[in-house]
Amino acid sequence: MQHYDAVVVGAGIGGLCAAGILAKRGKKVAVLEKNHTPGGVANSFRRGRFEFEISLHELCGFGPDDRPFGSARRVLDALGLSHRIDWVRVPEAYRLLTFEGENPIDARLPFGIEAFTDAMERYVPGCRGAVSDAFLLAAEIRAALAALGAARTTEEKAAVLSAHSDFLHIAGMSVEEGLAALGLPPRAADLMKGYWAYLFTDCTELSFLHYLNMFNSYIELGSVIPRNRSLALSLEIADLIRENGSDVFLNAEVMRIGTENGRAASVTIADGTVISADDVICDISPAVVFGSLLPPEVISSADRRKTNARELSGRGFCVYLGLNRSAEALGLTDYSYFIYPDMDTAAQYRAAAAPETNFIQNTVCQNAADPGASPSGTCMLTMTTLFSSDCWGNVSDADYQKEKEAFAAQMIVTFERAVGVSIRPYIEEIEIAAPQTFARFIGSPEGAIYGYRAAEWDSILARKMMDAHFSQLDRLHFCGGFGMNLNGYSSAMGSGMDTANRILNREAKK
Ligand SMILES: Cc1cc2nc3c(=O)[nH]c(=O)nc-3n(C[C@H](O)[C@H](O)[C@H](O)COP(=O)(O)OP(=O)(O)OC[C@H]3O[C@@H](n4cnc5c(N)ncnc54)[C@H](O)[C@@H]3O)c2cc1C
């Protein structure tokens, strides 16, 4: 039996970062990945002359060299990889389009606090003061969350809260309540809710603190994509792990996690190989770990209850299109399109429970950021939506292909109608990923792609206050989109680094 300091189950971006940090600090790590490439959804695939990005629309939390801030930047700097990736900066924040009601929205919002505030003032005269206040509040949230992360005892945490009174004041507010408290006119509030689908909890329930923190990160620091897709990032981290004497095993599905003396101690791979380790880090869903990988008798009732109480966030559906016209020729001048019927997010979240009523989408045109992303005279569009129920789980095998294609067609028509650009005559390649595709590809329950829903009881603040680690079983850790920091690249990467640091700190104390 081989022994490692740590094994990581799943080579998603969170697991790779955890392994990378441990390997750089001299630990011997084995990353075990069931697929034939590392990265999980941080990956790409080819169809014809197009290489499609599977997931990454934009990476936030990666400030430029003159402002090297943000969670992704912190992790990539620690790994020494910030300059090993060829980055492309995303040109603008988003174009927000609604298409129902009397006064539909068509607004283009830029990156940069000043430019964003100016644009808001142009769209909704008189909102400048409230928008500026939102950014001041966001700065306080960032400072308070950093201080809370560093606080070790309950007393220290209480001291942080009393030092940040505005933070405490908004801690229990939803996005709707927070934006209203700032005095934003309803139209301005609607423009600022553009990113809500990235967290996929409606704004009557989504924590204002969490949303504003993410919103500020995008607007203040902008966002990036690797020119060679997120796979370039995954491959760089995998290389770094190997360069530092550790291993990344592909086609290695973990079937069981073994325990010894009340702690996680080994994993068994599909071919029967057993690997023992001091720590087991899971970059996969706790429901899978507690439901099928661990022996039931070692799972505490608290872990069982918490895992059952957590709700899945959106189940993913994507349409990847390769078009035989350039973005310029088609009039696709924007990178990121948020398209919603209207900005009643509670109604839209409910409607996203079924294909026939789900008209939400975020579509990106990669060529608008990187004109050379596909061959000259072509461009790529990726349309993504999420479902708030497991409606695709009820589709029979016989109907699956037909229903998948029908819903993809609905997304394409919605895009054409909202943006006013015809794309159907120019489709050269099309690939569709339904929740079933994601369930199979990354093993996530119901094809959930955004981890757990940021319910109020399970928000980032609640988790930080309670040190809500996901397992009471000694030496078992979680990271990634289902981990402590909730979903998204920078969160998953940050949780990977935090997990590695917790293990390193424990060892240092010993
Ligand atoms: C379509 C889409 C668009 C997105 N857009 C963005 C965006 O623009 N910005 C952003 O920040 N975030 C975005 N996200 C979210 C982001 O991609 C995820 O939060 C993040 O990549 C999750 O990483 P992870 O570490 O949880 O790993 P995952 O990508 O979930 O990978 C888990 C890995 O574990 C492996 N695995 C599972 N079971 C086993 C097993 N038993 N044994 C071995 N290996 C196993 C899987 O094969 C997989 O490789 C998007 C996601 C999707 C799907």
pLDDT digits (tens, 9 = 90+) for 456-479: 788 888 887 776 677 899 999 999
Boundary of a domain, candidates 221, 251, 282: 221
- pLDDT score of 362: 98
Ligand 1 centroid to Cα of residue 439, in Å, is 11
Count: domains in the chain: 3
Instruction: State what percent of residues in the chain have pLDDT above 70.
Output: 100
Q: Are residues 138 and 80 in the same domain?
A: no
Quick: pLDDT tens for 199-208.
999 999 999 9
117 lies in the same domain as 200:
yes
What are the start-end ranges of the E strands in 86-218?
Answer: 87-89, 94-98, 106-109
State which amino acid sits at residue 492. Answer: A
- 93-107, 236-250, 448-462: least confidently modelled range: 448-462
In the prediction, which pLDDT does 241 show?
A: 98
Are both 196 and 232 inside the same structural domain? no
The CB density around residue 417, as the number of other CB atoms within 10 Å, is 13
Q: What is the dihedral of CA 137, 141, 143, 145, to 10 degrees?
A: 180
20 Cβ inside 6 Å of ligand 1: no
Handedness of CA 58, 59, 60, 64 (dihedral sign): negative
42 touches ligand 1 (CB under 6 Å)? yes
- CB contact at 8 A, 241 and 234: no
Q: Is the CB–ligand 1 distance for residue 487 below 6 Å?
A: yes
Task: Answer whether 253 contacts ligand 1 (Cβ < 6 A).
Answer: yes
Whether 356 maps to a domain, the answer reads: yes
Evaluate: CB of 10 within 6 angstroms of ligand 1.
yes
Q: Is 293 found in the same domain as 269?
A: yes
Mind listing the pLDDT tens digit for each residue in 43-82?
999 999 999 999 999 999 999 999 999 999 999 999 999 9
Domain that holds residue 197: 112-221
pLDDT at 467: 65
The yes-or-no verdict on residue 318 having pLDDT over 90 is: yes
Ligand 1 binding pocket includes 443 (Cβ within 6 Å):
yes
- Residue 447 Cβ inside 6 Å of ligand 1? The answer reads no
Within a domain: residue 322?
yes
| Closest residue to atom 3 of ligand 1, CA basis | 55
Q: Is the residue at 107 inside a domain?
A: no
Residue nearest to atom 45 of ligand 1 (CA): 10
CA distance 221 to 468: 29
* Ligand 1: centre distance to CA 209 (Å): 24
Q: Is the same domain home to 321 and 437?
A: yes
Question: What pLDDT, on a 0 to 100 scale, did the predictor assign at position 468?
Answer: 63
Q: How far is the CA of 219 from the centre of ligand 1 (A)?
A: 24
pLDDT at 247: 98
In a domain? residue 401: yes
As a whole number, mean pLDDT of residues 384-392 equals: 98
* Adjacency order of strands within the sheet including 315-323: 106-109, 94-98, 336-340, 361-365, 379-387, 315-323, 427-433
Give pLDDT, residue 329. Answer: 97
Report CA(291)–ligand 1 centroid distance (Å).
19
Residues 322 and 435 in one domain: yes
| pLDDT tens digits, 269-282 | 999 999 999 999 99
Say yes or no: 480 and 436 in one domain: no
What pLDDT was estimated at residue 454?
83
Residue 485 binned pLDDT confidence (cut-offs 50, 70, 90): confident
The mean pLDDT value of the chain amounts to 95
pLDDT digit string, tens, across residues 350-365: 999 999 999 999 999 9
217 within domain boundaries: yes
* pLDDT for res 180: 97
In a domain, 95, yes or no: no
What band does 167 get if pLDDT is binned at 50, 70 and 90?
confident
Last residue of one domain, picked from the residues 192, 221, 250: 221
Q: Looking at ligand 1, which residue's alpha carbon is closest to its atom 48?
A: 40
pLDDT digits (tens, 9 = 90+) for 212-265: 999 999 999 999 999 999 999 999 999 999 999 999 999 999 999 999 999 999
Average pLDDT over residues 422-435: 98
DSSP, res 290: I
Same domain, 216 and 119: yes
Structure tokens of 433? 């990923």
**Residue 467: partners with Cβ closer than 8 Å, 6 or more residues away:** none
**Dist CA 467 CA 456 (whole Å):** 16
Q: What is the pTM of this model?
A: 0.97
**Among residues 409, 425, 445, which one ends one of the domains?**
445
Cβ(491)–Cβ(71) below 8 Å: yes
Q: Could you identify the residue written with the tokens 């095993």?
A: 249
What does the alpha-carbon distance between residue 5 and residue 149 come to, in Å, rounded to a whole number?
26
Residue at 100 is within a domain: no
Domain co-membership, 211 together with 232: no
479 and 420 co-located in one domain = no
Residues 8 and 76 in one domain: yes
410 and 345 both lie in a single domain: yes
CATH code where residue 253 lies: 3.50.50.60
Q: Is 254 in the pocket of ligand 1 (CB under 6 A)?
A: yes
In-domain check, residue 266: yes
